[in-house]
Every structure is written in C-alpha cells, then in structure tokens.
Amino acid sequence: MPEQEPPPAAPKPRRRQARGERRAAQLLDAAAVVFSRVGYTAASTNAIAREAEVSPGTLYQFFPNKEAIAVELGNRLLEQWRESYGQALSAANLDLPLAELLDAVVDPLLEFNAQNPAFHVLMHGPDAPGQVTAAFEAFHSVVLHRIEEILATYLPEAPKAETTRVTTTTLALFKAGLDLIAAHPDEREEYQEELKKVLFRYLDPMLCEEPPAPGAAAQQPEA
C-alpha cells in the first residue's frame, strides 16, 4: 500500500530569499488586478504572470497551482482587513446610537471594498475556489456573530432565530449597497447615504434601547 505523507510535516522546506518574497507579493498584486478585471475562472495564470511581468514558470515557483494564488490572496486581503478596519466592529462602538454606529461600521467597510475590488470578487464571485469561499465564510461568520452580539444588546427580547435572521438580512443589505456603489461609481456618496438610510430604517424600529414612548402601540416584535 502507498504510505500517506504526514500532512503536518513541511513537505517543502524550501527557504525563500528576499527576492522571492518580493516576487510572491508582486504576483499576488497582479492576481488581484486580473481577478478583479475578469473574475477567477477567466483569469489565466499566464495573464497573471504577464501582468506581473514574469514568466509562467516563475509563477509556479511560488504557487503550486491557480487555486493557491486565490487562497493566499484571500488570506492577505483578510489580514489587511483585520489590520486596517477590524476595529470598526470592536466593542468600542457598542454604546453609540444607531445612526453613529452605522457610520462607524459602514463607512470603513465600504472604503476597504472600494480600494480592494478583488475582495468583492473573491468573496461573492460564483466561481471562487472552495477553499477561498470557506475562508471567507469563516470571516463572514465572525463578522456575523459580532453584529449579532451588537444587535442582541439592542434588541434583547427577540428570540435567537430572529436575531440571526435580522443579522443575515443586514449583511445582505450591505452587500446590496456594495453592488449598488460598484454599479454607480459616480454617485458613490449618494448611494452610501442611501445604504445607511436603508439600514437605519430597517433596524431602528426594532431596537428598544430605552422603554419606548407609550404613544406607539407595541411595535411589531413580529406577529
């Protein structure tokens, strides 16, 4: 029988020089450009190599296959996101009023997506490889739980299933805003405001931070 290689052991103890490190980063940059231009499947490895002004053989010295390029690029984008904007969802903003919370969360997220179009392609592209999708799913679920936490403090009486649904909906609305801005780059600010308007009006009636004014009848905590 063929013995199975030990997966945790380093199969390639290849040392990488500074030059190689630069080339790898350069290739990821090129991949981001090509991916955001034509998507994952249509992006040929030769095109990525050409974009990086490098031969196809050189590309495969740093990445075992096309999927690995997407995976590493995805990881790099995820890391950049955490470094730059992860704080937007930190606990610091928990006690803000909703409108300002939305400013604090939505603006930096849109900003990051505007500057890293490959992020959107790899996250929501229909043809991204499974491992990338999985990594983003993990990230997605972290963000989701974070939002769920925040929302839970705003609407403490709702059952958990409903909180989850509200959270999922909120994220879907955000994604819609992303698409909207991508489709209308010249009206970016207007649609950014519109997105926040949507989110505010959707979420505001549900939260009961303080005992609501007795005027309005018990708002719908669902039928």
Chain positions contacting DNA, by CB under 7 A: 13-21, 23, 41, 43-47, 53-58, 60-62, 64-67
Which of DNA, its own copies, none sits in contact with 180, Cβ below 5 to 8 A by type?
A: its own copies
Is 197 a residue that touches its own copies (CB under 8 A)? yes
Query: Shortest approach of DNA to residue 81 CB, angstroms?
Result: 26
Query: Shortest approach of DNA to residue 14 CB, angstroms?
Result: 4
Task: Name the residue nearer to DNA (CB basis): 19 or 201.
Answer: 19
Is 223 a residue that touches its own copies (CB under 8 A)? yes
- The amino acid at residue 208 is C
Q: How many CB atoms lie within 10 A of CB 150?
A: 19
The window from 3-11, 62-70, 76-84, 166-174 that contacts its own copies (CB under 8 A) reads 166-174
Is 202 a residue that touches its own copies (CB under 8 A)? yes
Round to whole Å and give the CA distance between 21 and 223: 58
Q: Which two tokens stand for residue 126?
A: 């229909």
Print burial letters for 153-179: b (CB count within 10 Å at least 16), e (below 16). Answer: ebbeebeeeebbebbeebeeebeebbe
H helical segments located in the chain: 18-38, 45-51, 56-62, 66-85, 98-115, 117-124, 130-154, 160-183, 188-203
Give the closest residue to 102 by CA, choosing from 115, 88, 82.
88
Instruction: State the number of binding residues for its own copies (CB under 8 A).
Output: 35
Among 165, 185, 188, 211, binds its own copies (CB under 8 A): 165
Is 141 a residue that touches its own copies (CB under 8 A)? no
Is 100 a residue that touches its own copies (CB under 8 A)? no
Query: Shortest approach of its own copies to residue 180 CB, angstroms?
Result: 5
Give the closest residue to 140 by CA, choosing from 102, 175, 103.
175
The window from 47-55, 72-80, 151-159, 187-195 that contacts its own copies (CB under 8 A) reads 187-195
